Structure formats: structure tokens, C-alpha cells
């Protein structure tokens, strides 16, 4: 198995996306803003824990050629960045063009362009790959976009913290299924067997859930954050709270959302009610599921990637 230079592969993925943007027409402020988002994303990437490289690692694990999977990885990266931007609008945490009074609209517009960019990247998949495989890739990307939008829609239409079942349904739609697609797509490009594709989907799904749970944990225990709108520690605490405790938690949650400031009282309540411990337990449960989905010998690149990501998470826990 030839192990590619991951830094070079990342550069190829981003160069493809930027070239597609530049080839859509004369350069405008919009092109500049989309490219700025891509360049910022690239500068923050660590190849050893990069979500972008999941299709590449899966492809190489099956003996596939890197050049054939670069367009798929580019499509996945554009989709993932778009989802992040949409979330930032919903969570009122817009980092893009914050000095503009129309930052929300501009962010949505850039995110919409990135969704189209994902589809254009798929058009660059080599014709040497079977037409049926290319059709499956395109269809699966569109299906996941619709499913992720469904998860976002549930959040928009239910303005208060959800129950646990609804929480995990949203996470499955917005994170589990997209990450399953990312890993599966790499296997598809390499011509993997159905058994391998099942392993990859299971691995990717649990990684996607794991990523969201780790984000929830970081957000909730940070000194400056109170968790995003539907943070698991809070959702769990509400599920076990008495009537009086639930009323207190909802009051503190509403106040923290309105003031956009951390509520230490709420975080202390959630911690005492087991919300943090429950979230950590779910993190390691999905980690075990992800690891168990991998073949001992053939999938070591994906295993090393996962262990690197978990090591980074463990370090962030130690720094709290």
C-alpha cells in the first residue's frame, strides 16, 4: 500500500475547489469571499486529523489511486464547510465578515455556493471510474444534502432543547450520515466490496456522531461557552430533571441564549445532574463502535486517523 503525502493531497483538494470557483466566470467579490473561506479552512487543517482526507484514506486502504478520489474529497470538503456555515448562522456565531450588517445573508450565500461547488467537484471524477459508480456518488451526495437539511429544519422548527431521541436523530441526519458518505465514497472510488463499504459506512457514521458529541462537550465545559442550541449535556440533564429542576434549567438556558453569555449556574446544574459524564460516556461508546467496524489489518490508516483525533480530544480535556 502506497501511503500518500497528506499535505500534498490536501493542497490538491483545495486547489481543485479554488480552480472551480475561478472557472465559473469573471472574478467578483463573491468569488473572493468563497476563496477566502476555502483558504482559511486549508490553513486550519492538520492532515493527521483532517476530516477532508477521510475519502482519501478509505480509498487508499482499498488499494485505490489518490488522484481518482481527490474530486470526491473536494466535494465532501465543500459540503462540510457549507454545513458549518449554515450552523454558524443558526447558532448566531458568524465568523464570516463580522463587520457587515448583512453578515447572516452573506454567510448563507457563500454556504449555498459551496453546496453547488460540491456538485461541480463531482463532475471532475475521472471518466475511468464506472458510470454506475459515478451515478451512485452523485445520488448519495444529493441524498445526504437533503437529509442534512431535514435535520437543520427540525432544529429551526423546534426552538427549545429536544428530548434525547430527537437530539440523536438530528445528529444522525446532520453529522452521522454525511461522515458515513465521506468514508463510503472513498471505498466506492476504489471499487471496494460491499462488505468493505458496510464497514466504512458504519465507521463513518459513528465518527460523525462522535465529532458532534465532542463539539458539544467542548462547547459546554469551556469558560466562554454555554453549548450550542441543542447541546447533549443539557438535553440529558433535562431528561432526568425534576419539574423544579427542569424549570430552572429552561429559565437559565433562555437567559443565556438571550444574553449570549455563558451561564455558570446552568453548567454547574448540568454537571451535577450527570450531563457531562453522560456525554463522555456516549463519546467513548461511539468511539468503540467506530473502531469495531474496522478490519484489523486492512483499515489501519482509518484507525490511525481516529486514534489521532481522539488523542487531540483527550488533550483538550486535559487543558480544561
Mean pLDDT, all residues of the chain: 89
Q: Residue 100's pLDDT is what?
A: 57
128 burial (CB, 10 Å; 0-12 / 13-18 / 19+) is exposed
Helical ranges in the chain per DSSP H? 6-22, 29-43, 54-61, 66-90, 103-122, 131-157, 164-171, 177-190, 194-221, 232-240, 243-259, 264-272, 275-292, 300-318
d(CA 145, CA 239): 30
Taking the C-alpha atoms of residue 69 and residue 190, their distance in angstroms, rounded to an integer, is 8
**31 burial type by CB count under 10 A (0-12 exposed, 13-18 middle, 19+ buried):** middle
Contact 279, 256 (CB under 8 A): no
For 261-308, what is each residue's pLDDT tens digit?
Answer: 657 888 889 999 999 999 999 999 999 999 999 988 889 999 999 999
Mean pLDDT on 216-231:
68
* ∠ CA 30-32-35, rounded to 5°: 110
pLDDT 10s digits, 239-263: 999 999 999 988 888 777 766 565 7
| Sign of the dihedral defined by the CA atoms of residues 85, 113, 176, 158, in that order | positive
Asked if residue 94 has pLDDT above 60, the reply is no
Q: What is the pLDDT of residue 319?
A: 47
**Alpha-carbon gap, residue 90 to 93, rounded angstroms:** 8
208: pLDDT strictly greater than 60: yes
Dist. CA 125–CA 71, nearest whole Å: 6
Instruction: Give the separation between CA 193 and CA 214, rounded to whole angstroms.
Output: 31
* pLDDT of 75 higher than 80: yes
Question: What is the per-residue pLDDT across 170-207, written as a single tens digit (0 to 9) for each?
Answer: 999 999 999 999 999 999 999 999 999 999 999 999 99
> What band does 228 get if pLDDT is binned at 50, 70 and 90?
low
Rounded to two decimals, the pTM is 0.92
Amino acid at each position: 500500500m502506497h501511503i500518500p503525502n497528506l499535505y500534498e493531497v490536501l493542497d490538491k483538494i483545495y486547489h481543485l475547489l479554488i480552480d472551480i470557483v475561478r472557472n465559473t466566470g469573471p472574478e467578483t467579490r463573491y468569488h473572493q469571499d468563497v476563496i477566502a473561506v476555502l483558504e482559511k479552512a486549508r490553513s486550519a487543517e492538520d492532515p493527521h486529523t483532517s476530516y477532508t482526507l477521510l475519502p482519501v484514506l478509505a480509498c487508499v486502504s482499498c488499494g485505490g489511486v489518490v488522484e481518482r478520489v481527490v474530486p470526491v474529497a473536494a466535494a465532501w470538503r465543500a459540503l462540510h464547510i457549507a454545513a458549518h456555515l449554515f450552523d454558524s448562522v443558526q447558532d448566531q456565531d458568524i465568523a464570516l465578515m463580522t463587520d457587515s450588517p448583512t453578515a447572516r445573508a452573506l454567510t448563507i450565500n457563500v454556504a449555498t455556493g459551496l453546496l453547488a461547488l460540491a456538485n461541480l467537484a463531482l463532475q471532475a471524477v475521472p471518466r475511468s471510474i464506472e458510470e454506475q459508480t459515478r451515478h451512485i456518488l452523485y445520488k448519495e451526495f444529493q441524498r445526504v444534502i437533503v437529509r442534512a437539511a431535514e435535520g437543520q429544519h427540525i432544529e429551526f422548527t423546534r426552538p427549545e432543547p429536544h428530548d434525547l431521541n430527537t437530539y440523536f436523530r438530528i445528529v444522525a441526519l446532520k453529522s452521522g450520515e454525511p461522515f458515513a458518505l465521506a468514508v463510503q465514497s472513498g471505498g466506492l472510488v476504489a471499487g471496494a466490496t460491499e462488505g468493505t463499504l458496510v464497514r466504512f459506512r458504519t465507521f463513518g457514521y459513528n465518527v460523525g456522531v462522535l465529532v458532534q458529541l465532542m463539539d458539544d462537550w467542548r462547547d459546554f465545559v469551556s469558560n466562554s461557552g454555554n453549548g450550542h442550541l441543542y447541546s447533549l449535556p443539557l438535553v440529558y440533564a433535562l431528561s432526568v430533571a425534576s419539574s423544579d429542576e427542569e424549570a430552572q434549567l429552561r429559565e437559565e438556558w433562555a437567559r443565556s441564549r438571550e444574553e449570549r453569555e455563558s451561564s455558570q449556574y446552568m453548567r454547574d446544574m448540568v454537571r451535577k445532574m450527570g450531563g457531562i459524564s453522560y456525554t463522555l460516556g456516549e463519546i467513548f461508546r461511539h468511539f468503540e463502535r467506530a473502531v469495531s467496524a474496522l478490519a484489523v489489518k486492512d483499515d489501519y490508516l482509518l484507525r490511525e486517523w481516529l486514534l489521532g483525533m481522539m488523542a487531540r480530544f483527550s488533550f483538550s480535556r486535559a487543558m480544561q
